[in-house]
Amino acid sequence: MSTPIAPLDDLLVLDFTRVIAGPYLTQMLGDLGAEIIKIEDPRGGDDFRHYNPPGRTGDAPFFYGLNRNKKSVTIDLASEAGRDAIRALAAKADVLVENFRPGVMAKYRLDYDSLRAENPRLIYCSISGYGHSSPFRLVAGYDPIAQAETGLMHLTGPEEVEPQKAGGSVADTFTSLHAGMALMGALQARHRTGEGQHVDVSLFDSMLAAGGYAAMYPLMLDQDMERFGNGSAVLVPMGTYECQDGRIMIVVGNDRQYARFCEALDRPDLASDPRYGSIADRLANRVVLEAEVVNALRARPREDWVTALRAAGVPAGAVRTPKEAVASPEARGRDMIQSVTHDGKAQDVVASPFRLSETPVRKPGRVPLLGEDTDTVLAELLGYSPEQIGKVKGS
């Protein structure tokens, strides 16, 4: 039986991305089998290589979580030799991904229109804060700013405190996923037409689209959704609740689940009480019902409640720390935590979430050291001599 081929095994991707939104996208493409050539500045590379907690040196956890299965090539874009090398690589590439501010790549004549002349099949993906056609295209884009400007922050956090950003970089992540979907569409279109195209994805657009239901409130009702913290504007009970030894997240999604929830709570009176008979009733009497639920859940440990509620068919889960999550049976049972060797040492990493039955994704590989693949890539793909490689690297 032959070894399965990864879905994007024949794809060559030039990666001009840094920080999160771009690197997460190209990491997913690498998981799916594409050859990712990460172009980095010889003077330090991706900023995320250096985002370490105090006292720690070496590649940072931020960088490690976003750059597996890539090759690092250091090229000095300020030099003509460096720009010539990029043009030569782009002539061979299937996809180019960049997340510079609009106009930066054009300054070096490495924009879509310039590179398309030599490679009409090139799919060129630009990730930016506001998009290349936006009147705000030159404004720098950052995840927390996108969360703030698209209304997500307004909806996050308890009602009694100021709006909060999400704990993770959700704007960057959603933008990566949207860019990936757009790239798959562009690749499929190229199968039919033989032509590449420019894919333009922004943090602002992605977060506005991802929160589409929240945007529909003002568009349909001319009002904003209220902020309910871990609760919901349309469901009760829903939220995090204190147990004897930790917190639990519960979602009671309909009347049937509510009846089973009351049974698991050993509070049949809450199921028969007409104040809580429907979703609308429970919303109208939210404060009183929530007080009853809070008192009941404090009586037992967290895992007891998770077990009991799941047995009753009520969605529930422990509120975990990241350390608890990576050690959980759910993560281990799906092989989401795997080991790679980096600098001679074993290092556990988070694996790809993709599961394809016939064309499995790559196993996680280590992240590249800064510039470690420069000589090999330029020699093998472009036939460069050591002297030419030295000029490209700015040495």
Angle, CA of 298, 302 and 304, to the nearest 5°? 100
- What's the helix, strand, coil split of the chain in %, to 5? 40, 15, 45
Dihedral of CA atoms 280, 286, 289, 293 in degrees, nearest 10, equals 110
Radius of gyration, alpha carbons of the chain: 25
The answer to whether 19 and 47 are in contact (CB under 8 A) is yes
Give the pair of three-digit tokens for residue 147: 């969360």
Beta bridge partners of 328: none
The answer to whether 12 and 90 are in contact (CB under 8 A) is no
Closest CA to 35 of 377, 341, 389, 378: 377
User: Which of 172, 222, 224, 343 is an active site residue?
Assistant: 172
The answer to whether 281 and 333 are in contact (CB under 8 A) is no
Closest CA to 134 of 179, 201, 216: 201
Query: Cα separation of 243 and 307, whole Å?
Result: 13
Largest CA distance in the chain: 83
The 8-class DSSP code of residue 161 comes to: S
For tokens 């049937």, name the residue: 256
Beta-carbon contacts of 353 under 8 Å, excluding residues fewer than 6 positions away, are: 336
Dihedral of CA atoms 19, 21, 22, 25 in degrees, nearest 10, equals 130
The answer to whether 204 and 130 are in contact (CB under 8 A) is yes
Is 172 catalytic? The answer is: yes
Catalytic residue ranges? 172
